[in-house]
Every structure is written in C-alpha cells, then in structure tokens.
Amino acid sequence: MEEKKKRVFSAIQPSGTITLGNYLGALKNWKFMQDEFDCIFALADLHTITVRQEPATFRKNIYDAYASLLACGIDPEKSPFFIQSHVTTHAQLAWVLNCYTQFGELSRMTQFKDKSAKHADNVNAGLFTYPALMAADILLYQADMVPVGADQKQHLELSRNIAERFNGIYGNVFKVPEPYIASKGASVKSLQDPTKKMSKSDENLNGCIMLNDSPDIIMKKFKRAVTDSDSKIVYAEGKDGINNLMGIYSTITGKSFEDIEAEFEGKGYGDFKTAVGEAVVEELRPIQERFVKYSADKAYMQECYSKSAEFAQKISQRTLDKAMKKIGFVPHA
C-alpha cells in the first residue's frame, strides 16, 4: 500500500512585490515540495490588513502575488492554492483560538514589537492577535509540517502551544505541526547591508532584488553590492557581503562553496558579481515570462483560486466543526 504523503501548509502575504529572498528562501522549494508532500498553499490576505492598505493597490497586489506564485511553479492541479479571505473557517477558528491564547504569549511576539515600532500610528488589535489567525491557518488543515524561516519559528511554536493546550482540554482535535526546514534554501541578505535580511521595505532600493526587476536593473544592483576590502572569493567569517553573494549563487547553480571558490580562484569581485547577476537574470527570466502570461488571464486565475477555495472550505470545515462541538456550541442544521 502506498504510504500517505505528509501534509504541508504554507501561506504568504500579498503585501507587494515578491523579492529574490522570498523566492530563494521559500518559493523555489514550494515547487519541488508538491511532488513529495500533500501541499496546501494560501495567499494570506487577511493578515495583510494589520497594516493599512490602499484598496486598489491591495487588490492589485493580491492578483500580482497569485500570478507570481503560479509563475514560480505552484500547480493548482497538484496543490490547492487559495485566497485566505475566500475560506470563512480561517476567521471563525481564529476567534475561537484567540480565547485559548494567553495575553502574555502574544505580548512576547517579536514581530508585534517590530511592527508596532514601524507603524506607531496604527497599533491595532489585529496586529496583536494575528498569531492566533496564523495558528488557525495551520491547524485547520491538520498539517504535519509548516515551512518556516527564522522569523516565523516563534509563531509556529505558539501554534503548537495553542494546539497542545486545546487538545489537553478537549482531547485530540488538532494535529501538532512540526517545522519543516528545507535542505535547500537561502537566507538572502540585503545587497547594501548584508547583516540584514533582504526586504522590500529596505530604504535603499539597491539592497533588494524584486522578482519583476528587469535584467539591466538586476545587473546594476549586483554590481553595486557591498563587499569588503579583500579580493578573494572565499566563504569566511567577516565577509558578509561575499558570503551572501555565494549563498545566492550556490542556491541557483547547485554548486558548493568549495566549487565556487575553485571556479573564481584568481578572479576579482567584479567578475563574481557579474556571474551572480547573470545567474539570477537567467533564473528569473522564465518566471517573469510566465507572470506576464498569468497576469493577462484573470479568468484562469479565478478558476484556480475558486476551485481551491471550495476544496479548502470543505476540509477545513471538518476541523472547525469538530472544535466547535468539543467546546459545546450547538451545531447548525
């Protein structure tokens, strides 16, 4: 008998253009995970409104993000890929889990502290409680694993705590998910400050590569990338800029750091920056071409996210109904 595939749930916010860091750190792996796991993907648009959005821009960002992820290789025939707000169980279970999440737990979330500092004029309740919505996203699908980066480990740990607390009171309702750390993937840093993560909110536009940047812009940004006063292309402590470029090149080409050091022995930083830029351009070229195709076909995207939402509603409703029954709510007819 064929062994049942483990279920993986993952979501990304449609809060603007996707970066090279998002792609190499997570999205590139999502494509390959679909063959190994039972994957469910979502655009977490409900999470996005913890920061005030301009409606027309927000709507465009959702369409663009959906097209981008299809272009990166998500196949809705293999893996449901829905828009979070289209599946009502997420908001319903989030409220329930809010009541099983402690104030102290939420107040310790580092992202709440960071975002409160960035958006001091709009420190809303959603910003404080959105880890409960994140827990609902994951627990609704009885996920075995959740891909996490360093900045999400704390939230997954809280999701596990909430599940264990609820199960401790009511019995086995939620599967307690494990973190999934991809064997391949890169923590991509800013090209201008390689001690910080690459981010679309970087004030220096040269620090971040966007998935829709033209080849000319990509090459210019890599040529301006911060390095050090040495000229040797080796992976070593204190060489944050070169280490970052080597990580990007390694993730795209599959070459080890030793291979890269041998390939560029006797060559300078200029040669290496050009090679990394060219590798990125070629990696993103087919994605950019597919993005143009999907963006122009709203009917196809609508078909994909509508079918996926229907599937997600059906399976997540089972979990929600079970949780509500355990608590003592009267079932609807």
Candidates 3.30.930.10, 1.10.240.10, 3.40.50.10900, 3.40.50.2300; correct CATH number of 205-292? Answer: 1.10.240.10
Question: In tens digits, what is the pLDDT along the chain, a chain of 333 residues?
Answer: 557 899 999 999 998 788 999 899 889 889 889 999 999 999 999 999 988 999 999 999 999 999 999 999 999 999 999 999 999 999 999 999 999 999 988 888 877 777 777 777 888 888 889 999 999 999 999 999 998 876 677 888 999 999 999 999 999 999 999 998 776 666 899 999 999 989 887 889 899 999 999 999 999 999 999 998 888 999 999 899 999 999 999 999 999 999 999 999 999 999 999 999 999 999 999 999 999 999 999 999 999 999 999 999 999 999 999 999 999 999 887
Spot the catalytic one: 115, 189, 221, 239. 115
197 as an active site residue: the answer is yes
Q: Are 180 and 146 in contact (CB under 8 A)?
A: yes
User: Mean pLDDT, the chain, as a whole number?
Assistant: 92
- Could you say which of 197, 221, 239, 273 is catalytic? 197
Residue in 200, 232, 255, 307 annotated catalytic = 200
The model's pLDDT over 114-171, given as tens digits with 9 standing for 90+, comes to 777 777 788 888 888 999 999 999 999 999 999 887 667 788 899 999 999 999 999 9
CATH class for the domain made up of 7-185+298-327: alpha beta
185 sits in the region (left: phi over 0; alpha: psi -120 to 50; else beta) called: left
Domain boundaries, the chain: 7-185+298-327, 205-292
| Torsion, Cα of 112, 22, 190, 215 (10° steps) | -150
267 carries an active-site annotation: no
| 5 counts as catalytic | no
pTM greater than 0.75: yes
The answer to whether 223 touches 280, Cβ cutoff 8 Å, is no
For residue 53, what are the CA distances in angstroms to 112, 152, 222?
Answer: 18, 23, 31
7-185+298-327 and 205-292 agree in CATH topology: no
* Coil vs helix vs strand at 223: helix
Beta strands in the chain (DSSP E): 7-12, 38-43, 81-83, 145-147, 178-180
Phi and psi angles of residue 35, each rounded to the nearest 5 degrees, phi first: -80, -30
* Torsion angle, alpha carbons of 275, 279, 284, 286, to 10: 130
What are the φ/ψ torsions at residue 176 (nearest 5 degrees)? -90, 110
